[in-house]
Structure 1
């Protein structure tokens, strides 16, 4: 079985530890835990892959910037011939408290421009996603500044624990399926 795991974020050092880059951070941790080769620059994304039991997990971090993520996702789904139900997109979510995970098999973009573009390009909202809560500690009109700001000191201290949980959830999705993964990780 082949899986496409997509971490959403923006390229460049100024974005590296921002809330909006949680998808990239999760993939970095997942690759590290499973001793995947270093990410390399490929068409529209940084890519790597690793084997886990009977599955190959293809990890991509789109280099198209967040709002054009659909182009990279479509390219890699088609190139690797992976059905969209075997894809999981990891993204930040302002509606969830910091560190809370919400895994869904499909759904709206919830106002997230990266998910919105993927939905538009694929012509469907029927694909699994893992939303990582980044909280909503910002004043009215400051949403963009908030998601593009770095995690605070307390959040950074907890981040490794959350990245490990996300990595477990992704492997669970590939091994046990979306329903069991939602049951296990959405309740914590």
Structure 2
């Protein structure tokens, strides 16, 4: 199983992202768009795991103790070349210190199981699309100013997600772990 740990994006924030994507998608030749039900903030990519080890992973995630947090959309950006970005993403604002603490807590909980944290700095975001079309007109950077901003949600749980390649929606929640009330 190919797994990762994430915060799901719900409510008005997910709705606003979905509406913006629906409006802009015909103008933006990205090869892969994320299904609205798959919007999330990745906390840690785990990779392949044998099903026999799922119990110990679930137990480790149950031990993550971080308070729930308020998050909101905050515009967006791209990764990769400005004319043909690899990724289009939505930015996050709100309780970012708590979000960083949650990321560290998940990494700390999974490291004894052999999951290695990424070396690059953690950058919380919501991926919307990948792989801008080769040979297409340059990505219209002015659209970034129109990305949703302000819609929020309470992040009250982390989820263990399984990737189902070539399906849409692509991610399946196989575990949910509540965050603490402040």
Higher share in strand: 2
Higher relative contact order (CA 8 A, sep 6+): 2
TM above 0.5:
no
TM-score by length of 2: 0.30
TM-score by length of 1: 0.29
Higher share in helix: 1
